[in-house]
Amino acid sequence: MYEDIMLKDVISECNIRNEEEAKNLALFYISNAGNKVRYRKISYSLNIPLTNVLRFTECMQNAYLIFFVKALSPKLSEMVRYDRKVYSIDNGISNVLGYRLNQNVGSLFENLIFLELLRRYGINNVFYYKGRRGEVDLVVKVKDEIREIYQVTYELSDIEREIKGIEEFLKIRKTKAYIITFDNEGEIELNDNVVKVVKAWKWLLME
pLDDT tens string 144-196: 899 999 999 999 888 888 999 999 999 999 999 999 999 999 999 988 899 99
Report the first-to-last Cα separation within the chain, whole angstroms: 28
Angle at 154 between CA 150 and CA 155, to 5 degrees: 110
Render pLDDT for 1-21 as a digit per residue (tens, 0 to 9): 777 888 889 999 999 999 999
d(CA 126, CA 71): 9
Q: What pLDDT sits at residue 92? A: 66
**Among 152, 160, 118, which residue's Cα sits nearest to residue 136?**
152
pTM of the shown model:
0.90
* Domain spans of the chain, in order of start: 104-207
Q: Does CATH place domain 104-207 in 1.10.3470? A: no
Q: What pLDDT sits at residue 102? A: 44
Burial of 81 (0-12, 13-18, 19+ CB in 10 A): exposed
pLDDT at 103 over 60: no
Taking a C-beta distance cutoff of 8 angstroms, is the pair 141, 147 a contact? yes
Share above pLDDT 70 across residues of the chain, in percent, rounded to a whole number: 90
Concatenate the DSSP letters of all residues of 76-118 into one string: HHHHHHSPEEEEES-HHHHHHH-S-GGG-HHHHHHHHHHHHHH
d(CA 130, CA 196): 21
pLDDT at 74 over 70: no
